[in-house]
Structures are given as structure tokens and as C-alpha cells.
Chain A
Amino acid sequence: MATDNKTALIQLEGIHKTYQDGVLKVHALCDINLSVGRGELITIMGPSGSGKSTLLHILGCLDHPTEGRYLFDGEDTNEYRDRKLAETRNQRIGFVFQSFNLLQRETAIENVTLPLMYAGANEAQSRAKEALRKVGLGERLNHRPGQLSGGEQQRVAIARAIVKRPDVILADEPTGNLDTQVGSNIKDVFKNLHADGLTIVLITHNPDVAEMGTRKLKLRDGQLEA
């Protein structure tokens, strides 16, 4: 489970996450220690409620741990304020969600340019077109999500994640809403991205998808197992 600390892109040290549900305390994550090196493709499997999404949200700077340290590229994210967290999400982390999370009123290319526009990046249009071509949607640039199939929507979400040239892609059940064939295609897309050198942390229920990981981890009752 460990990678050389000096080269680790992601380093979790004794991470705990506790939610308060009325009078009950729910321990979503317990003492998670994990290092992810650059270029790794890590898959995390686990049953529902095991804390997979919670872990991914912490990794994605969308949530803070209750306890422990999360070092991203050597920096303690606990010290990040809203703006720095947003900048990290915007420029260094790409997200792919099970439910795609696309803006329904925007076209495919507009969805993909979204993070670049927040960054004020130059050549947003050409980079977005390139990203969409890379995931095989070069001909569907001006379609809205409602006009695309589930697989195509997920490809748009992947294009949006890679367009910013992130350090890591975090994928939460990317094939969960897709049929087997389409899911297999999406799996190939991730394989290709990994072959290009991208670091990927992928959470899945699907053992077939989990198989492609260079490291395969399991999460059970908030605890990580090798």
C-alpha cells in the first residue's frame, strides 16, 4: 500500500472521517494510510457504505478529514483555504463521477471548457476539442448532455477531467450507470489515459474494472485492505 514518500503525489496519514447522524457518530473512514505515486492506476473496491466515496471526496479536496493529514504533492491540504482548494481542484485534479455531473444546459464543448474558463486558460476551445477527440467525441461537440447516450456523457466527463492536464484523475464508479459494453469502452479509455502516464484513482464495484489497476485495494467498514 506504500509508495516511496519522496515521490508520492498523494499521501494520506491516519485519516479519519466521522459524520454526526443525529445522536449517532458514523465512522466513515478509520485510520487510512495511503501513498499514491505518479503514474499509478489504483482501483479501490468495496461494498456500499464502506466509505469509498468519502475517501474520494477527501482525495479530491472536496471534503476535509476529521483527523489525520492529507499531503498533496507534499503540501498539507488541511492548511488550504477555499480558494486554494478550488484552485487545486481546478488545475490539478480531474473528476469523473458515476452520474457524470454535466451541466445540462451547456453543450459538450462548453462542459469541457468549464474548468479552463475558471482558470482563465488560453486556447480553451482548441484544448477542449482535442480532449473530446481523444475520448472519441470529436463529432459531438455541440450536443447537449440530453442529446448524448450515457456512455457519451461519461466520455464528456472524462474529457472535462483530462482537459486541464491534471496530476490525478479521481473516478467514482465511472461505469456504474452504464451497460457492460459501454462500461468496457470506458474502461479502455481509462487504460489509454494511464498508458499516457496519468495517475488515476478509481473506485468501483465492478471486479472487471478493478482488475486493470496497477494496485488493487479494498475498503471495508472504513478501513483499507490490500
Chain B
Amino acid sequence: MSSEAKQPIRVPRRGAIGAAVTFARRGLTRRPLQTALLLFVLTISLAGTMTIMAVLSGIKAQMFRDLQRVGLDVVNIQMTPNMQNLLLSPLMMEDTKWMLNAAEGGKLAPFRVDMAVGADLVESRSGEFLLLTTTHQWGGIAPLELVEGRFLEVNEKDACVLDEQVADRIYPDRSAVGENLFVSVEGRIQVFEIVGVLKDPFAIRKKFDELDFAGAARSTINRILEFKSVYITGDFSEPHESVHGAVVKVPEGVDARKVARAIQKATDERDLPTVAWARREWVENVMKGADLTTQVASLLWVVVLFVTGIMILTISLVAIRERYRELAIRRTEGAYRLQIVGQLLLENILLSALSGCLALGIAQWAGEILEARYLSWAPTFLWHEMTLALGLGIGIGALATVIPAYRAASLDPVEVLRQN
């Protein structure tokens, strides 16, 4: 026996790791109640965190998709909206030529705006709106979506296209296309045949107004587009004909922001009371606002994880205290402190990893329910966010375990065995 004892037991690393995993697995499976409790707390917390993350990412993704619909390669040029400018209309058709040149080609649609009242004489319904006089080019600049019918064609007279909101107000019970709309502008009555209904292009603006920190551009678009619109074709053949603004679609490869700055500079030099802004810039500003808002909202999952950490710490403290005798026996049999701490940590990491997988499934299920019942956007599960949530879960679990584990490993095993 003595000669055998002289042979040192070599510790192959793989064997030691295998033993640690075995101890951790046994530690979890032999304490089903404690394991189930920790698994429940961790899973629910991680699922909550993942759901919050997915909901916040989802709204940003949805916003970006929606906002892209306004056309990122479009520059808006509008007169500063005040009564003097509207009455004097200092911007003229001939100005649109240098605007188009500054845009390095592309398409331009001038427009005028008037306040108008329209009526359906059949059902005696009426409504106020903005009468937007433009050219058929408008339809090729902003990516318009039609609910029904079509957009205006070249030099088409006595035809109009309604914004969805106007159509719903004046023709709530039937299709507006094909109907005659009686429009009163400054006392003049005109009749237009409705050829199409546009999906409300400014619903997005209303949706995200509170997130838009773009300043002047925002207030301009808000004021001008306060009313819903009816589009008609105008005659813009005269160079001195006054216009209220234009929209420009820049050619592919040209930076809309650069074009907006160039046009703004030119209008300043010409002393014209106009503002030029790229819709891309507006979208970026809204997205920045959304980022800020979602970052603030992210505090919610930080709080969830913090509370989870406290709960796990409490459970770990109690659970490890109950294992003092077991750990003392392990110490007696040759486990060193680090192995004890490592075993308890590994147990927690395995548990956290399992919780993470379960939480991901629960979060996706919760996301589907939220989307079906409460949200107007789909929660988006981004792999890097889910990895972050899982990593934080494991990290918090490990942090909450390491203190009681180290404390347990540092206890005098003799004293523990004597007391228990």
C-alpha cells in the first residue's frame, strides 16, 4: 500500500474539467426544488428582458421601414410659411430651373397650396383640406401608395387625387374613385373627377412627431401639412408664375443632403424666404430621437436584470448556506477553494444557459401575443441583443453566486462539520 501511495495522482486537465462538469450537473439535478426555483426566476427575468429588448428594437425597425416610405432621396423646398410669403409668393417657376441644376438633374415637381373646402353633393358631406396643385411628376418623386385608382397624368385637367383621410371623411361609405368633388377655393367653385385615393402619406409624420427633434424642418412640414390634401394638376408653363415650393428627387448616387444644402445656399444668396431640407436628414433626426427614447426605455430591462440579480443573490445565499456541510466534506476530501467556487459558479452558468434558451422561446411567444393583441409593430429579436441578455443573465448569476460561494469555500471545514 505504501509503495502505491508514493505514486502521485496526476491531474489531467480534461479530467478535472470533466469532474467539475459532473459535480455541477449532479449539484443541479440532485436539488430539483432549488434548481427549479432558480430556473424559474432566471427564465422569467431573462424572458422579460428579451421581450423588452425585442419590442424596443421592433419599434425602431418599424419606424425605419415606415420612414423610408417618405423617400430618402427627396429634397423638399418650401417657402417659410407665413402670411406675407403666401400672399406675395416671391418664389417663381423660373427658380425651379436652378434648383434642378443644383440637384444635378433628377425630377422636380413644383407646387402651390390653397386652403379649400370640398363637398360631395350626393350625400351632402364636406370637409376642409389643402388643395395641392402640382404636376404629374409628383407621383414619380415621393413613393406614393395608392389605395385605389391612379395618380394624375400629364396635363390632366379637372381630375384630382384624394388623400385617404379626405376620402374617408367625404366618402365614408363608398369608393371615392369616379365621384365628382365640388371644391371651393377663394369663392370659386370647381368640379374635379376623383381618379385615385392615396394612402395617407403623412400618417407617419403624425406617428413620430414626438420623436422628431429636427427643428425648422419639422415645424415647416408640420405647418404646411397640417391639413390633409387633395392633389390637382396645375399649369406651370409661365416662368413668372408663383409657386409655394417644389419637391426634387435627386438622381441615384447623388447625396440628397448635399443638394439640400446647395439649394439652401442659393436661395439665401437670392434672398428667397425658403427652406430646403432632405427627407433623409429628417428621417435620421427622427431615428436619433427614437434611439434616445429607446435607450431611456432600456432602463426598464436594466431594472429587471438588477432585481433579478438581487433575487438570485438571496436564493444563492440561502441555497449555499444549506450546502455548507456538503462543501466542508468536499474540502476535507481535497477540493481546494477555487474548485468549490468553480463548482458553484459552473452550476449557475449551466442553469443560466438553460434559462436563456427557455427564455428565448418564451420571449418569442410573448412577442407574438403582444404583436397580435397590443402592438402595431413586430418585436424584433436581434441576435446581438439576445446574446447580450444571455451574457448579462449569466454575468449577474455568476456575480450573485461568487460572493456566497467564496464565503462558503473559505469556511473552516472542521468547524462546519462540528456544528452540523
Contact = CB atoms under 8 A, between A and B. Distances in A.
Interface stretch (A42-50, A84-92, A183-191): A84-92
Interface stretch (B3-11, B220-228, B306-314): B3-11
A140 interface: no
Query: In terms of DSSP, what is the predominant structure of the interface of chain B?
Result: helix
Given A117-B19, A122-B15, A101 B332 contact: yes
B321 interface: no
A57 interface: yes
Nearest to A101: B329
Contacts of A39: 2
A198 B4 CA distance: 10
Interface stretch (A102-110, A203-211, A218-226): A102-110
A86 B328 CA distance: 12
List of 4 A-B pairs having minimum Cβ-Cβ separation, nearest first:
A90-B334, A120-B15, A86-B336, A120-B11
B417 A97 contact: yes
Contact of A120 (B16, B332, B337, B338): B16
B1 interface: yes
Contacts of B19: 117-118, 120
Interface residues of B, number: 35
B8 A106 contact: no
Contacts of A87: 334, 336
Contact of A110 (B13, B26, B326): B26
Interface string B1-39: 110110111111101100100110010001100000000
Contact of A117 (B7, B23, B329, B413): B23
B329 A102 contact: yes
A197 interface: yes
A118 B26 contact: no
Interface residues of A, number: 44
B28 to A, nearest CB: 11
A179 B128 CA distance: 103
B333 A90 contact: yes
A167 B3 CA distance: 9
Contacts of B10: 120
A119 B9 contact: yes
Nearest to B30: A105
A95 B332 contact: yes
Contacts of A102: 329
A87 B26 CA distance: 23
B332 A89 contact: yes
Interface in A56-108: 57, 60, 62-63, 82-83, 85-87, 89-92, 95, 97, 99, 101-106
Contacts of A83: 336, 338
Given A97-B417, A120-B13, A122-B15, 7 more contacts: A114-B330, A118-B330, A118-B339, A120-B11, A120-B16, A122-B12, A198-B2
Contacts of A215: none
B5 A165 contact: yes
Contacts of A63: 412, 414
B335 interface: yes
A199 B2 contact: yes
B414 A120 contact: no
B291 to A, nearest CB: 50
A26 interface: no
A21 interface: no
Contacts of B331: 86
Nearest to B339: A118
A115 B329 CA distance: 10
